[in-house]
Amino acid sequence: MSRHYLDHASTSPARPEAVEAMLPWLAGQGGADPGRVHTEGRMARAAIEEAREQVATLLGARSREVVFTSGGTEAVNAAVWGATRARPGAAVVCAAVEHSAVRDASHRHAPVVEPAVDGWGRVRVEAVVELDPSQLALVHCQWGNHEVGTLQPVAEVVAWAREHGLLTHVDAAAAAGHAVVDFDGLGADLLSVSAHKLGGPKGVGALVVRRGLRLDPFIVGGEQERARRGGMENVPAIVGFGAAAAALAGDAGSRLRSEADQARTRTDGLAAALTAMDGVRRYGDAWRRLPHIVCVGVEGIEAEAVLLGLDQSGIAAHSGSACSSESLEPSPVLEAMGVDAERSLRLSVGWSTTDDDVGACVAALPGVVERLRALR
């Protein structure tokens, strides 16, 4: 049986460009310390700086603003740590629809204020601007939602925070590589991304830090990354991240736009086919959304059974239900939207998705649902 992978929003397979770029460094070139002055060390340093420029180009940032991390989760924790240390005791604005890394890091280091969201999972701007800025240290606003794909009012939230002198952090892990991200144009202070979400290797990400902003480093013990993140750089992974970013940003971002157009066409097709079934409704904004994600609710059937049925048909998918992941609780994103996470199904496409993958899901899901409902 052939397999069809429709879970790119969780992690996307490494692009051939990333794998090819990493191989020489995995085979031996990457063994040198990039902080040393010998030839091998300088070669490693040059490779890191080239990757830094490639990632910066993809994100609309300056290369010196990019701090490489072990992934998006570390980048988020570093952002929260630095911002809350700069203003101890002040609260963090963090909606329930933010990723668990953002929510958990915020709750660990500061009091949290949760602005309301609407039925599409979008933060209500009016719930943010009514807050007292003097009591706040940091404002989070993700670029696009990782469960339902809804684009957030990030420009409006960042503009309000800047007007009041507040630090802002944007989680762009779900968006980067799937939508145009312009860090400098947005005017945010901090932005986090993860390489494996866009076809780079696992175990590497970046925190983009606005030029001139100085925050205490989250990981100490070395002067790497211009003293902003201690620890030996993961040269092979960083090089792979850079190669994936360069593949998307090349030719003025034509590949990114082409992949986004294909993704939207495929997820629109998936959504149309799924919602044509009885008892299936779409979650999230169908228009202002990330192009590669579609999320639906399947009435009367628990998500785990649907996922297992799809898996037996050769299709990998995801759900916001508690039983479909390591979490013991259902998705707080869907809960905040007022929908049933235990009946959710998320399908997400990526650079390696084909029309056959989409067609296989469209063909298999009605039979899976019909069989499960017959057993009810």
Distance CA 244, CA 239 (A): 9
Identify the CA nearest to 262 among candidates 373, 162, 349, 153. Answer: 349
Cα 131 to Cα 36, 106, 151, 210, distances in angstroms: 49, 17, 22, 24
Distance CA 352, CA 211 (A): 35
141 flagged as catalytic = no
Distance CA 134, CA 126 (A): 17
If residue 274 lies in a helix (H) or strand (E), which one and from where to where?
helix 235-275
> Which residues have C-beta within 8 Å of that of residue 354, sequence separation ≥ 6?
none
Q: Which residues pair with 151 in a beta bridge?
A: 144
Token pair in block for residue 220: 């100490």
CB 143, CB 170: distance < 8 Å: yes
Token pair in block for residue 135: 């009591």
Q: Could you count the other beta carbons within 10 Å of the beta carbon of residue 190? A: 27
Token pair in block for residue 73: 């989760």
Q: Could you count the other beta carbons within 10 Å of the beta carbon of residue 222? A: 14
Identify the CA nearest to 333 among candidates 164, 27, 94. Answer: 94
Kindly compute the dihedral angle of the four CA atoms of residues 250, 244, 157, 10, in this order, to the nearest 10 degrees. 140
Q: Which of 94, 141, 295, 323 is catalytic?
A: 323
CB 91, CB 113: distance < 8 Å: yes
Cα 296 to Cα 147, 302, 318, 369, 371, distances in angstroms: 10, 13, 11, 13, 18
Angle, alpha carbons 228-234-239 (nearest 5°): 105
Tell me which residues are annotated as active site: 323
